[in-house]
Amino acid sequence: MRLFFILLNRELKAFFYSPVAYVVMFCFLMLTGTNFYIAVSLLNRGPSDVTVVEAFFNSVPSWICILLVCPIISMRLFSEEFKLGTIEPLMTAPVHDWQVVLSKFFGALIFYVILWTPSAFYFPLFEWVTKAHAAWSPGAYLGSYTFILLIGMFYISIGCLASVFTSNQIIAAILALAATILLFLFGLVSFFVLNITAAFRDLIGYFSSIEHMAGFSRGVFDTRPIALYVSATALILAVTYQIFQSRKWRM
Amino acid sequence: MIKVENLSKRYAGITAINNISFQVDRGEIVGFLGPNGAGKSTTMRILSSFMPASSGRASIAGCDVFENSLEARSHLGYMPENVPLYTDMRVTEYLNYRAALKGVRGRRIRERVGDVKELCNLKDVENKVIGTLSKGYRQRVGLADALVHDPDLLILDEPTIGLDPNQIRQVRELIKNLGKRHTILLSTHILPEVEMTCSRVIIINKGRIEASDTPQNLLSQLRTAGGVRLEAKVGNDNGIEILSKITGVKDVSVEKEGDWNTFLLRVDANSDLREEIFRLSVERKWAVRELSRRKATLEDVFVEITHADA
């Protein structure tokens, strides 16, 4: 465990030593700020049954941010090490493979959490300015950010998997992007395809990230999506670990 | 310290290492010599647990590099070829990180990092970002990294590649000093270095071990090596024919420069035929302006052994 934390520390430093981190943070903040503006403007048009929190998190710009940022922050995790050859001193030090994989995953996840942290100021700011509530209950804030964490975990694990396949960061990013967008669209199938049975529609509903986000941003802690995302993340990380280990046999 | 038994490594269609076996005992400095593509780096990567062998066994300090990989790695300080480093970290920071990763704890990290920085002359660049360092310094950081946890065994893959002569000399001195306390296996193309620093030489070619002995023994076993250089005015004599008749002369070649002929004689390894050549020159009334002996070097051994199959 000690080694895991040493590796994790190095991963976080690696993020912040690279200019990519600052560019991503800046652009992300611009996007979330714009998103907030758009959300409030839309609500200004007339009465609505969505709260500011839901309008902010379950909106097009927000989903675009999530879908784009996860592959971008995870593309370099393994690919860069393979390309530079620094995987060699890493793997010849007395560390376990699982420590390496998990430290990279959690490093990216912590960076992702740092990216979203400033958005938490928008709602108190809104409430201070308008003297109105941004959500019906405090559970909404907790729910929204929990879901942001869950979906981030899942998409970053996909990014890790894509990264471990190749030493080319662009390929890793494209693979991760394609996979996350396809998975996201899978949850929207019921909007595109009309002649499906009600049972199938329900089934898709369980996988629909947008529906999950809607629920969580109202403060509804449905354990089914939690189980889905945690287990899916674990599965993908397990596959990542296997592929990482198998690399040395394919050299 | 290192025991390799029947080690083989096959890639798609290529056999990089073919059934090699060797041993390195504690306290030895062993030079691993071979042409490019001979299998030196592959062997070292297998020993450092970076890649697994296709067959055979290897162990470091009694720990199998595949079954007991973690323990084997903790006994080893490995410096890969081309020394890959994190270019975004500073030198001290990087060494602290590597020391922690290799199991050095607490206050010992600062001590050990200080020691290796001293040893590898990194004090003046300790706060510089690694990406801004020259090749020589990066090589030293790599060496410091290998040493930071005070391992029993050092495996260095081409430690002096790309360095200028001063830096090579410094690294060579360092390796010699390290050899007093550590066991070292290093690979190199720089043959004079091997003669100067190594107690034993293993010559590998096309995945097989061709020779494994002390440099002196290898030199004395060489079939034809060394030579005599004679610069003389021979007039109308057929210098080559006359010189070839001396017993012990394997062959003679000549270069003419005006009146002067430069003869290069290849002679038996342990014989010194200069006196005889001198007497012959006096007898034939040749004017001699140079008569010198070229001692056999490891390069001759290397070339002879590795070209024997070619």
Contact check, Cβ <8 Å, A88/B50: yes
Asked if the structure places residue B309 within a domain, the reply is: no
Same-domain status, B207 and B239: no
CB-CB neighbors (< 8 A) of B50 in chain A: 88, 91-92, 248
Burial class (CB in 10 A: 0-12, 13-18, 19+), B232: buried
Is the pLDDT reported for residue B217 higher than 90? no
Looking at B220, B242, B259, which one is the last position of a domain? B220
Is the pLDDT reported for residue B92 higher than 80? yes
Residue A155's pLDDT is 97
**Residue B27 contacts residue B184 (beta carbons within 8 Å):** no
Q: Tell me the residue range of the domain where B104 lies.
A: 2-220
Q: Is A10 on the interface with B (CB under 8 A)?
A: yes
Helix (H) or strand (E) holding A11: helix A2-17
pLDDT tens digits, one per residue of B7-51: 999 988 889 999 999 999 999 999 998 888 888 999 999 999 999
3-state secondary structure at position A156: helix
A244 Cα distance to chain centroid: 21
Is the pLDDT reported for residue B309 higher than 60? no
Same-domain status, B269 and B204: no
Question: Which two tokens mark A7?
Answer: 């590796």
Same-domain status, B11 and B153: yes
Same-domain status, B53 and B171: yes
Question: Which two tokens mark B36?
Answer: 């490019």
**Residue B211 contacts residue B201 (beta carbons within 8 Å):** yes
CATH of the domain at B257: 3.30.70.260
Residue B55's pLDDT is 92
CATH of the domain at B128: 3.40.50.300
CB-CB neighbors (< 8 A) of B87 in chain A: 84
Spell out the alpha helix ranges (H) of A48-96. 52-57, 60-74, 76-84, 87-91
Same-domain status, B155 and B277: no
Residues A53 and A87: their CA atoms lie apart, in Å, by: 43
Same-domain status, B110 and B216: yes
Question: Which two tokens mark B122?
Answer: 């990194």
Residue B269's pLDDT is 64
Number of domains in chain B: 2
Contact check, Cβ <8 Å, A94/B70: yes
Interacting residues of A9 by C-beta distance below 8 A, sequence separation 6+ = none
Residues B263 and A31: their CA atoms lie apart, in Å, by: 82
When pLDDT is cut at 50, 70 and 90, the band that residue B252 belongs to is confident
| A:B CB pairs within 8 Å | 59
Region B127-155 average pLDDT: 93
Contact check, Cβ <8 Å, A14/B97: no
Residue B190's pLDDT is 75
Rg (C-alpha) for chain A, rounded Å, is 19
- Best probe of the A interface among B51, B66, B130, by most A CBs < 10 A, is B51
Asked if the structure places residue B304 within a domain, the reply is: no
Q: Give the distance from residue B310's alpha carbon to the nearest chain A alpha carbon, in angstroms.
A: 27
CB-CB neighbors (< 8 A) of A7 in chain B: 101
Same-domain status, B38 and B113: yes
Asked if the structure places residue B191 within a domain, the reply is: yes
Q: Give the distance from residue A22's alpha carbon to the nearest chain B alpha carbon, in angstroms.
A: 15
Asked if the structure places residue B54 within a domain, the reply is: yes
Q: Give the distance from residue A198's alpha carbon to the nearest chain B alpha carbon, in angstroms.
A: 52
Same-domain status, B43 and B142: yes
Looking at B185, B204, B220, which one is the last position of a domain? B220
Same-domain status, B206 and B244: no
Using 70 as the pLDDT threshold, list the residues of chain A that sit under it: 251
Residue A198's pLDDT is 82
For A5-40, letters b (16+ CB in 10 Å) and e give: ebbbebbbbbbebeeebeebbeebeebbeebbebbb
Q: Which stretch of A134-138, B189-193, B276-280 has the lowest confidence by average pLDDT?
A: B189-193
Which residue is closest to B129 within chain A, CA to CA? A17
Q: Are strands B63-64 and B15-24 parallel, antiparallel or unpaired?
A: unpaired
Asked if the structure places residue B88 within a domain, the reply is: yes
pTM of the model: 0.87
One DSSP character per residue, chain B reads -EEEEEEEEE-SS-EEEEEEEEEE-TT-EEEEE--TTSSHHHHHHHHTTSS--SEEEEEETTEETTTTHHHHHHTEEEE-TT----TTSBHHHHHHHHHHHTT--THHHHHHHHHHHHHTT-GGGTTSBGGGS-HHHHHHHHHHHHHTT--SEEEEESTTTT--HHHHHHHHHHHHHHTTTSEEEEEES-HHHHHHH-SEEEEEETTEEEEEE-HHHHHHH-SEEEEEEEEEE-TTS-HHHHHHTSTTEEEEEEEEETTEEEEEEEEETT---HHHHHHHHHHTT-EEEEEEEE---HHHHHHHHHHS--
Asked if the structure places residue B305 within a domain, the reply is: no
Which residue is closest to A13 within chain B, CA to CA? B89
Q: Is A84 on the interface with B (CB under 8 A)?
A: yes
A3, A7, A248: residue with CB nearest B50: A248
Residue B123's pLDDT is 92
Looking at B200, B220, B240, which one is the last position of a domain? B220
**Residue B30 contacts residue B214 (beta carbons within 8 Å):** no
Same-domain status, B43 and B191: yes
Q: How many residues does chain A have?
A: 251
Q: Give the distance from residue B97's alpha carbon to the nearest chain A alpha carbon, in angstroms.
A: 7
Same-domain status, B56 and B160: yes
Is the pLDDT reported for residue B87 higher than 70? yes
When pLDDT is cut at 50, 70 and 90, the band that residue B274 belongs to is confident
Residues B226 and B286: their CA atoms lie apart, in Å, by: 23
Number of domains in chain A: 1
Q: Give the distance from residue A93's alpha carbon to the nearest chain B alpha carbon, in angstroms.
A: 6
- Best probe of the B interface among A13, A76, A92, by most B CBs < 10 A, is A92
Q: Give the distance from residue A3's alpha carbon to the nearest chain B alpha carbon, in angstroms.
A: 6
Residues A211 and A4: their CA atoms lie apart, in Å, by: 35
Is the pLDDT reported for residue B310 higher than 50? no
Question: Which two tokens mark A191?
Answer: 């909007």
Q: Tell me the residue range of the domain where A25 lies.
A: 2-250
A10, A92, A251: residue with CB nearest B49: A92
Q: Is A224 on the interface with B (CB under 8 A)?
A: no
Residues B130 and B172: their CA atoms lie apart, in Å, by: 23
Burial class (CB in 10 A: 0-12, 13-18, 19+), A100: buried
Same-domain status, B287 and B194: no
Residues facing residue B143 across a β-bridge? none
When pLDDT is cut at 50, 70 and 90, the band that residue B248 belongs to is confident
* C-alpha closest to that of B39 among B5, B11, B79: B11
